[in-house]
Structure 1
Amino acid sequence: MISHLHVKDFAIIDEMDVDFHTGLNIITGETGAGKSIIIEAVSLALGSRADTAFVRSGKDKAVIELIVEDCSPQAAELLAENDIAAEDDQVIIRREISAAGKSICRVNNQIVSVSFLNALCKKLADIHGQYDHQSLLDPELHITFLDLYNSAEILPVKALTEKFYLEYKKLTLELNRLVSNAADNQRKQDFMTFELNEIDSARLSPGEDTALEEDILSLQNSEKIYGNLSNAYDAIYGDSPSVLQALSRVQNQLQEIASYSRPVNDLLSDFDDAYYKLEDISQEIRNIREHITFSPEQLDSAISRMNQIDKLKLKYGGSIEKIVSYRAQLEKDLAQIENIDEAKERLSHDLSVCEEQLKLASERLSALRKTSAAELQTKIKEQLHELSFNNSEFEIGMTENPAGYTANGTDLAEFLISTNRGEPLKPLSKIASGGEMSRIMLAFKKVIGDYDDIPTMIFDEIDTGISGIAASVVGKKLKEIARNHQIICITHLPQITACGSHNYKIVKHSDERATYTTVVPLSREEKIQEVARLLGGLNITESTLKSAEELIEASAFE
């Protein structure tokens, strides 16, 4: 609900703060006091188009700020999707309009677009009157109203219909893709078969390219490798003087004195290990040398094999592992092409079964909606007659969607009304005035209740063209709806004013420099005075005051 409104430098408002409450908030004021300006300010905060004409004369910018508490789940979800934090379920909306024409929107101190603000505020409040925040005027939402009326039966079938539709759409796309690709399948099959054969004929082994690189490097440098190994072997084990011969003499010298000295004896043991290790190394060098080959044919073969692998890498992924993975996908794709007829038959069968399920679900959904439409239509008519639409006709037009199956079934719904006898039924948006729309929305809210989850309703011009008993009925309806919604209503009728849970008065005054408008909350005594003013005008008598008090007390028991 809207808990606070702050307005600064907007039209004839210098600066104003007003706290709103749950229940029925009634705003009154003398003609010309600026009641419509309040609605304009709230409308701008809720995302309507900015107009620099609203910036107070001589000021740089106008500021409107709304504090909304306990926002609806849909609003909270939208905020979360856009990473906007709502502390303690509180949302602060700030709209600034500069005299230069710029408009800035903030939600919880985060700058947002007007389109986002508009989308968010449609989940927070409905403004009914001469402004454009009217969900009832959008034909696309009419079927939503209808579904909500009998939600217990309709919504499960609607969810099932959506499930079958999504599956139907998926299968249709798959089958269409399969059929549309049929002409290219032969060309693709030939090309993929060629690629598969090319990869298979290479008989690749994981790690083969690494081993080949080592072989090629060895073969290309085999002469140098052989020469260096030979020199190393000769130095260690070759003709005198060799390293091992010199070490053997050292070994003999140490052995002669090992029995005289423990350190020398320990050293001799380490020396023996080194000597025998060096012998082993010399034998390993000889073995490696004996296996060195100088075969040009072997080098050419290795290079040729490496070139073959490199070409395949270049074509199919850059590594043997990726080539193998590509080959597996080729095999899978070829199998699909080769089994296309079987796949088409399977998809066609699945699509036929799904379409039958979708058809049955859509027909069931349509039947429930028609039953719901008949009941809702009757109840709305009753409410409209109570709200002084005595000669009105109301009908929920149900037609088949020309698009065929949709996630929402096959139905279109539109609310049609005639407010005068003999006039044809027409869409709401083409026939109802602001005041009539407000009363029509009252009729819907009375019947549908809390289903739309919009916590706040703001009514302007709701009393246009009514008085007396009709005004009392409107006041009673407002009170009933205010049990589950916050309502902010501007009125000039005493019967509606008397029903307010919280009453406010718009006051305008002037000084030598300018005119100012503000809103003040009324105490019970001030509320009696205001109802008396609306009953008797400027001439307020004891009798008028008593009538006002009786009207307030009577409304409290309705």
Structure 2
Amino acid sequence: MISHLTVKDFAIINEMDVDFYHGLNIITGETGAGKSIVIEAVSLALGSRADTAFVRSGKEKAIIQLVIEDCSEKAANLLNENDIPVDEHQIVIKREISATGKSVCRVNNQIVSVSFLNSLCKHLADIHGQYDHQSLLDPELHINLLDLYHRSEILPVKELVEKLYAEYKELTSKLHTLLSNAAEYQRKRDFMSFELKEIKEASLIPGEDAELESQLLILQNSERIYSNLNAIYTSVYEESPSVLENLSKAHHKLQEIATFSSAVSALLSDFNDVYYKLEDICHEVRTIRDDITFSEEELDTAISRIDLINKLKLKYGGSVDKILEYQTKLEEDLSVIENIDEAKEKYSHEISVYEEQLQLACMRLSKLRKEAAIEFEDKLKEQLLELSFNSAEFKIDFSEQPSGYTANGIDLVEFLISTNKGEPLKPLAKIASGGEMSRIMLAFKKIIGDYDNIPTMIFDEIDAGISGVAASVVGKKLKEIAQKHQIICITHLPQITACGQYNFKIVKNSDEESTYTTVVPLSEQEKVEEIARLLGGLNITEATIKSAQDLIAASR
């Protein structure tokens, strides 16, 4: 649950700290005091889109911080999976919005993305504005609401359907691709066989083109290479006196004087290294020279081989590796063509097996949904009766998907309702009154809320369009839901305010420089006075005080 909210420099809020509690927390205030701003701040902390317009005029940034106590197991697991520390199931969420447009999200002092914050907060709180009941008007979402009911039985079967459908879809896609490509493959078969034969006959070896280029360069310049190496060897080793002979004499003279000078001794050591290194080089020159041969036939063979490889490169790829990759692809494609009947039979058999399993799973899922729907209908009618729909009828209508199998099974589900005696059942979208939709949504939340494991529900003036007895009924229903959930509700109705276990008031103040809003907790006496204000406006009398006390007594 949300145990603490801190807001600073957000819209008309200068600085605000408020503690919330488990149970029914009611927030009231005069029109224009900024009641919805508080919910907007909480919504931002829970991951909604940031807007620089929320930064208080003249300030650098707005800061919203939420402290969540006793977070759900799913939320704790999500944090652990992302290496975010959780201290005794407490989460601290901090959102900063800069006037320049930058937004920073932190969870337990670790920076996270907005998308992660959204994923996390789905397990922490559920916010409902006066127009959020529009989700009930979308028939595509009805099946998800039904699946939450009896979820322990329905969801495992639903997951199985999703898995089988994915396999079934992949196999049918492969078969479709095979059949659509078969005719094209048959037309290309002879040409592909010719290409494969041409590449195979070349017997290409990876990297041989580079070796051939090097070999060809040597063969084309063999006479010059031999001549230069021979001249080097002769001058260093064979001429009289040769370079090595002269170096040997110099070496002998250094030896004679090495004992007289440490510098000469060091020079002798370096000289020795040069002498023996040159001797090794000379032997290597002779070896390379003697290996140089010129063969007209070998040159022609190398040129022909390079020409062949270059032609294949132009046709099948820019390198030997690319040609060999193309060869492998040709072999695979020809193998498919040669075994296409076998592949069709294999895919068709596998599709038949998966379709049979998918059909059984879909029928099982549909059966579970229809069983859950009967119980759901009865429970929702009970809730509607408690919410003053004395003649309401509710029905969950089932039909089959026109497209056949889907990842969600074969069912189409739509909620039908009649709120007045004698009226036919109609889709929820046909319900005219916003006040009726608010109460209907509350009935759904009472049932589904016991299953979705979201600890906090936040309602922003969902009581719009209702009054009188209906308002008292909504207040009692909120109090009932608050037995298992933390409820934070903004309202303008005294009947709902009277049901609050913890009451707060939005107060707007002004000074010479600005206007600012804050939230203050109300004592029991202040709660009575606030309800009296909601009943009688500015003129609080003994009668309105008495009426406020009666409302509180009735709510208890």
Partner Cα distance (1:378, 1:225) in 2: 100
Q: Structure 1 stretch 61-70 or stretch 349-358: which is displaced more?
A: 61-70
1:480 matched to which residue of 2?
Answer: 480
Residue 413 of structure 1 deviates from its aligned partner by 1.6
Q: Say if 1:466 and 1:484 are closer, same or farther in 2 by CA, change over 3 A.
A: same
Partner of residue 458, structure 2: 457
Match of 1:21 in 2: 20
Deviations 1:276-328 (A, max 9, x none): x979978994x876765444333222211122123334444444444334323
Q: Which residue of 2 aligns with 1:402?
A: 402
Q: CA deviation at 1:481?
A: 1.2
Deviation at 1:193, TM superposition (A): 1.8
SS in 1 for 2:452: coil
Matched AA of 1:90? V
The answer on whether the counterparts of 1:166 and 1:407 sit within 8 Å (CA) in structure 2 is: yes
Distance 2:464 2:83 in 1: 41
Q: Structure 1 CA distance, aligned partners of 2:49 and 2:169? A: 39
Task: Say if 1:354 and 1:480 are closer, same or farther in 2 by CA, change over 3 A.
Answer: same
| Structure 2: stretches of 5+ with no match in the other structure | 254-267
**CA contact under 8 A between 1:459 and 1:490: conserved in structure 2?**
yes
Shift of 1:148: 0.6
Which of 72, 90, 93 is equivalent to 1:91? Answer: 93
| Corresponding position of 2:200 | 200
CA distance in 1, matches of 2:414, 2:213: 76
What is the alpha-carbon distance in structure 1 between the residues aligned to residue 162 and residue 146 of structure 2? 17
Separation (CA, whole Å) in 2 of partners of 1:297 and 1:500: 104
| Alpha carbons of structure 1 residues 324 and 297: separation in structure 2 relative to 1, 3 Å | same
- Superposition deviation, residue 479 in structure 1: 1.7
Paired with 1:340 and 1:412, the residues of 2 have a C-alpha distance of: 38
**Offset at residue 361 of structure 1 (A):** 0.9
**8 A Cα contact 1:28 1:506, kept in partner:** yes
Q: Which runs of 5+ in 1 are unaligned?
A: 255-266
1: CA distance, partners of 2:393 / 2:60: 44
1:157: Cα distance to partner? 0.4
Instruction: Write the deviation string for residues 13-42 of structure 1: whole angstroms up to 9, x where unpaired.
Output: 67573625132112345xxx2179523663
Q: Judge conservation of contact 1:34–1:517 (CA < 8 Å) in 2.
A: no
The match for 2:39 is 42
Structure 2: distance between partners of 1:177 and 1:42: 52
Check 1:81–1:174 CA distance in 2 against 1; reply closer, same or farther (3 A cut): farther
Deviations 1:429-457 (A, max 9, x none): 33153332222222122222243354322
Highest Rg: 1 or 2? 1
Shift of 1:65: 6.5
Does residue 438 of the first structure (1) align with residue 435 of the second (2)?
A: no
| Structure 1 residue 406 displacement after superposition | 1.2
**Secondary structure, in 3 states, of the residue corresponding to 1:402?**
coil
| Pair 1:476–1:220, CA change in 2 (3 A) | same
**Structure 1 residue 494, shift from structure 2 partner:** 4.7
Q: 3-state SS of the aligned residue for 1:147? A: helix
1:243-282 matches, cutoff 5 A = none
Distance 1:64 1:137 in 2: 35
- Equivalence for 1:360: 360
Contact 1:26 1:502 (8 Å CA) reproduced: yes
- Sort the Cα spacing of 1:235 and 1:433 in 2 relative to 1 into closer, same or farther, 3 A: same
Q: 1:134 to 1:46 in 2, by over 3 A?
A: farther
Which residue of the partner structure matches residue 265 of structure 2?
none
Query: Do the aligned partners of 2:461 and 2:492 also contact (CA within 8 Å) in 1?
Result: no
Mapped partners of 2:298, 2:51: distance in 1 = 87
Q: Contact 1:54/1:62 (CA < 8 Å) preserved in 2?
A: no
**Would the aligned equivalents of 2:52 and 2:97 in 1 still touch at CA under 8 Å?**
no
Letter of the structure 2 residue corresponding to residue 127 of structure 1? H
Residue 160 of structure 1 and its aligned partner are, at CA, apart by: 0.2
Matches within 5 A, 1:360-379: 360-379=360-379
- 2:6 & 2:291 partners in 1: Cα distance? 95
Q: Hey, what's the Cα distance between the residues in 2 that align with 1:172 and 1:548? A: 68
**CA shift in 2, pair 1:459/1:399, >3 Å:** farther
Output the aligned Cα RMSD.
5.1
SS of 1:451's equivalent? helix
Cα pair 2:97 2:103 within 8 Å, conserved: yes
Higher mean alpha-carbon deviation, 147-156 vs 193-202, is at 193-202
Q: Which moved more, 1:407-416 or 1:315-324?
A: 315-324
| Distance change (3 Å), C-alpha of 1:399 and 1:76 | farther
Contact 2:415–2:428 (8 Å) recurs in 1: yes
Partner residue of 2:258? none
Question: Secondary structure at the residue paired with 1:371?
Answer: helix
Change in 2 beyond 3 A, CA 1:36/1:197: farther
Structure 1 letter corresponding to 2:92: Q
TM-aligned CA distance change 1:283 to 1:27, over 3 Å: closer
Residue 384 of structure 1 is matched in structure 2 by: 384
The equivalent of 2:190 in structure 1 is 190
Q: Which deviates more from structure 2 when the two are superposed, residues 14-23 or residues 504-513?
A: 504-513
Is the 8 Å Cα contact of residues 436 and 462 (structure 1) preserved in structure 2?
A: no
**Residues 42-92 of structure 1, C-alpha deviation per residue, up to 9 Å, x if partnerless?**
358748999999999xx7899987544437788899999999999963334
1:147 positional shift: 0.4
Instruction: Describe the shift of the 1:119–1:530 C-alpha distance in structure 2 as closer, same or farther (beyond 3 A).
Output: same
Normalization by structure 2: what TM-score? Answer: 0.75
**Residue 52 and residue 431 in structure 1: after superposition, are their counterparts in 2 closer, same or farther (change >3 A)?**
farther
Q: Which amino acid in the other structure matches residue 438 of structure 2?
A: S
Who is 2:176 aligned against? Answer: 176
Which residue is equivalent to 2:5? 4
Q: Give the 3 Å change call, closer, same or farther, for CA 203–391 of structure 1 in structure 2.
A: same
CA gap of 1:414–1:36, structure 2 versus 1, over 3 A, is: farther
Alignment coverage as a number of residue pairs: 519
- Report the 3-state secondary structure (helix = DSSP H, G, I; strand = E; otherwise coil) of the residue aligned with 1:298: helix
Q: Find the aligned partners of 2:480 and 2:169 in 1 and give their Cα distance.
A: 45
SS across alignment from 2:204: coil
* Identical-residue share of aligned pairs (%): 56
Q: Call closer, same or farther: CA 1:354–1:379 in 2, change over 3 Å.
A: same
1:26 match: secondary structure: strand
Amino acid of the structure 1 residue aligned with 2:403: A
Superposed, 1:104-143 pairs within 5 Å as 106=103, 108=105, 124-129=125-130, 131-132=131-132, 134-143=134-143
Q: Deviation per CA, 1:120-161, whole angstroms, max 9, x where unpaired?
A: 9877433242x3465433332211110011101100000000
SS in 1 for 2:408: coil
Q: Do the aligned partners of 1:45 and 1:64 also contact (CA within 8 Å) in 2? A: no
